[in-house]
Amino acid sequence: MSAAYGEAPGWAPEKPRFRPWQLVVAWLLGAVSLLVATKLLPGTSDSTFRAALVVAALIALLNALLPPLIAALRIPFTALLGFFLVLFVDAGMLLLADGLSSGMSIDSFWSALWVALAAAAVGVVLSVLLGTNDDDIYSLRVVQRIARRSGEQVVTDRPGIVFLEIDGLALPVLQRAMRDGHAPTLARWLEDDTHRLTEWEPDLSSQTGASQAGILLGSNDDIVAFRWVEKERQVLVACSSPEDCAELERRHTTGPGLLSDGGASRGNLFSGGADHLILTVSRMEAERSSNPGYRAFLANGFNVARTFVLFGWEVILEWIAAAQQRRRDVRPRGHRGGVYPFLRATMCVIARDLIVYGVLTDMMKGRPAVYATFASYDEVAHHSGLERQDTLEALRKLDQQFGRIERARRYAARPYEIVVLSDHGQTQGATFKQRNGYGLDELVQRNLAHGGVSAVEGGDEQEAMVGHAAAEATGRKAKKPKNDVSGRDVVVLGSGNLGLVYLMEKDGRMTREELDARHPQLLPALASHPHVGWVLVKSDEHGAVVLGGSGVRYLEEDRVEGVDPLAGFHATAAQHLLRTHGFAHAPDLLVGSFYDPALDEGCAFEELISFHGGLGGSQTQAFLLYPTLLPAPEQPVVGAETLHRVLVGWRRLLEGGHGSPADPAPAPEPVAQR
């Protein structure tokens, strides 16, 4: 192949340009925002509109000069310290502009700080009401200028590829959202026939750790769940720990990753071989020094004040939504108190905006491949529900950001194709504990012949990741996880509706025969529980055995006694269980919740009302939205490793390489029917 697939000869990025009326509108909006802010807050004198016009013009001029200087500093702790430095610079610019003009008086620095935030809030409201996006043009000008001056920009006509992952969004949920107007940008791509939509099936466990290892690294072997025990080391491994993710990336890197050779990783668990990183857990140690990836965001002083305002508004929205659910007695209803509103605001505002600006910077610099994960939908769905109003609002805001990225392509250093995908879906239902009044750990404890159970706190992926993101932003080391499980009798873990039981009395995996002899009540109690669908155990005589309340399935012998425990699950369920059975660190007992196809519900073994990690429902229905100019996969895409080969093939095709991008390994033959 002599030329790149879809090459655009003579590609030259356009320059974002303000039209005169846009400059006037932006100036007037800035003046009105300042005028309203000074009227509302103490510490300022009554000002005139004329004075507000003068101050708004001076602030616009100062904003073009001072925040970029702060963003360019190679200071440590760039993300957090840079945020506050630019915010204080905003207040200082307001004081300076006030001093250079007349007709407005602000009596202190702190008054100026509050005026800056209030003006940003008013500006957000006005821009929503008027539907203006002038700041988008200004932001792109800033990002493009930084890219040019960085010395890293590579202008080429060879296409690049941007992968945008929506964490936890199932195909059927996306289809309904597009139909109902919650994802208009993605819907338009399908209507305009620029993209195709297809399904791909994640592995067991259907969670971000396994999916991203497969997608970015090409292997997710032995990633049993979101967290698991390695008995030989007596440690708990978690896909949220920087140390564990670094080790997992080392274990699973067998060749070039999806992002090797100049790619960028934004908001992922693993780097995929990328050279440029933001909020990438496996490389968190490398990110704790000053990170130039944040520069484009911080270089626009308006961004920081607006982000603080939107952060506060997101917290208020969460409090309102939670109160409405309680008042209406909506069920199932998740825990939404404590620090969760602030966690939600972090994922829905700060992390999202930093990642978007990272992607825009990558495009302006001409990086060949970018993979960015947006976790806000997944985070809200865990606590609010799969398709509740505030969950779909989080999706709508992501769709809006994807529209920004789409519009930015004309200004990029090379032509770009955009692929949108999810790493898994979610299924909904009241939790195991909500249904029974006790957890899986207590059920195990009641049926042990001896020993005590240690339950490890669950929580969603983002709750663990935000702490490490904060550590990265501040440059401080995250607290060492309590991963030592030595001296414990039994460890019970939850990963969505997948439960893992490790009996530590034996170094290796305990068999069915040993369990029946040592803990005769345990297997019958688990298998017959009304909210347990199946239990996978190793048998000396039969190999992999799946137990249910009314029957047994022998996976390696391909036979069933009584009622098949997997009858209500997807046709490939047995294939996934057999693969997990072969993992070196598979638990003594792998427990799956029930799934009711009629009600489309199951139950998590942790306190999340929308969940993923196991089998049943739309958690195993991920999606892939890809450009029509790229060839469709020739086989059903089953497993993240298969998807990795498809995505790598597309990247090679666009860059002018050889090989078939649409020839993944065949899907496993169906071994059961619904």
* Domain-ending residue, one of 132, 165, 200: 132
Report the pLDDT value the prediction gives residue 673, as an integer from 0 to 100: 31
Is residue 670 in a domain? no
Name the residue range of residue 598's domain.
432-460+482-617
pLDDT at 107 over 80: no
43's CB contacts (< 8 A; 6+ apart) are 106, 107, 108, 110, 111, 114, 115
Q: Which two tokens stand for residue 485?
A: 């499980």
Residue 196 zone, left/alpha/beta (φ > 0; ψ -120 to 50; rest): beta
Return the SS3 of 165: strand
pLDDT at 660 over 70: no
Question: Helix count (H) and strand count (E) of the chain?
Answer: 23, 22
Residue 493 near residue 228, CB atoms below 8 Å: yes
Same domain as 210, residue 72: no
Same domain as 455, residue 414: no
pLDDT at 667 over 60: no
Same domain as 451, residue 581: yes
Report the pLDDT value the prediction gives residue 111, as an integer from 0 to 100: 81
Q: How far apart are CA 517 and CA 554, in angstroms?
A: 20
Residue 106 near residue 43, CB atoms below 8 Å: yes
Q: What is the pTM of this model?
A: 0.89
pLDDT at 116 over 70: yes
Determine the average pLDDT of the residues in 499-516: 96
The alpha-helical segments, DSSP class H, found in 192-241 are 208-212
Q: How far apart are CA 243 and CA 548, in angstroms?
A: 37
Same domain as 265, residue 383: yes
Is residue 64 in a domain? yes
Is residue 610 in a domain? yes
Report the pLDDT value the prediction gives residue 80, as an integer from 0 to 100: 63
Mean pLDDT across the chain? 87
pLDDT at 285 over 80: no
Q: How confident is the model at residue 39 (pLDDT cuts 50, 70, 90)?
A: confident
Return the SS3 of 106: strand
Determine the average pLDDT of the residues in 70-79: 60
Same domain as 206, residue 173: yes
pLDDT at 482 over 90: no
Number of domains in the chain: 3
Residue 428 near residue 385, CB atoms below 8 Å: yes
pLDDT at 332 over 60: yes
Same domain as 534, residue 414: no
Q: How confident is the model at residue 665 (pLDDT cuts 50, 70, 90)?
A: very low
Is residue 231 in a domain? no
H helix or E strand, kind and range, residue 1? none
Q: How far apart are CA 616 and CA 620, in angstroms?
A: 7
Same domain as 198, residue 113: no
Q: How far apart are CA 605 and CA 438, in angstroms?
A: 10
Pairing of strands 595-596, 601-602: antiparallel
Helix, strand, coil in percent for the chain, rounding step 5: 45, 15, 40
| Residue 97 identity (one-letter amino acid) | A
Report the pLDDT value the prediction gives residue 81, as an integer from 0 to 100: 66
Is residue 663 in a domain? no
| Residue 659 identity (one-letter amino acid) | G
Same domain as 528, residue 439: yes
DSSP classification of residue 116 = H
pLDDT at 97 over 90: no
Q: What is the pLDDT of residues 383-414, one digit of tens each?
A: 999 999 999 999 999 999 999 999 999 999 99
pLDDT at 179 over 50: yes
Report the pLDDT value the prediction gives residue 60, as an integer from 0 to 100: 79
Torsion of CA 111, 116, 118, 122, to 10 degrees: 150
Determine the average pLDDT of the residues in 548-554: 97
pLDDT at 622 over 70: yes
pLDDT at 4 over 60: no
pLDDT at 257 over 50: yes
pLDDT at 173 over 60: yes
Least confident of 92-101, 174-183, 350-359, 595-604: 92-101
Q: What's 247's domain CATH number?
A: 3.40.720.10
Is residue 149 in a domain? no
